[in-house]
């Protein structure tokens, strides 16, 4: 789920930093995404979405499950918030 700010903007108008920020904030607020959904919402390729998420996972506590759904890791749980 990407918050409404993406829907108000044409994804093609967003620069990479803006796309990364939107995804990071959404995940921090408890959202979950798949690479397929993220690619469609942001107008990027699935491989681009995967690269974005794996790079974010180096510096943020996010991970993906067996269904390839990415989420913020809560220190008190084993799954999405």
3-state secondary structure 2-24: CCHHHHHCCHHHCCHHHHHHHHH
Establish if 79 belongs to a structural domain. no
pLDDT (mean) for 67-80:
79
- Structural domains in the chain (count): 1
The pTM (predicted TM-score) of the whole model is 0.80
Q: Which domain CATH number covers 56?
A: 1.10.10.10
Q: What is the pLDDT of residues 34-55, one digit of tens each?
A: 999 999 999 999 999 999 999 9
Is the pLDDT reported for residue 31 higher than 90? yes
Domain, as residue range, for 59: 4-72
Q: Note whether residue 81 is domain-resident.
A: no
CB count in 10 Å sphere of residue 66: 5
């Amino acid at each position: 789920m990407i918050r409404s700010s993406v829907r108000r903007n044409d994804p093609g108008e967003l620069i990479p930093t803006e796309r990364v920020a939107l995804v990071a904030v959404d995940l921090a607020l408890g959202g979950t995404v798949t690479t397929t959904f993220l690619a469609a919402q942001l107008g990027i390729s699935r491989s681009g979405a995967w690269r974005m998420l794996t790079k974010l996972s180096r510096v943020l506590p996010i991970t993906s499950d067996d269904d390839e759904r990415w989420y913020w890791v809560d220190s008190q749980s084993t799954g999405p918030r």
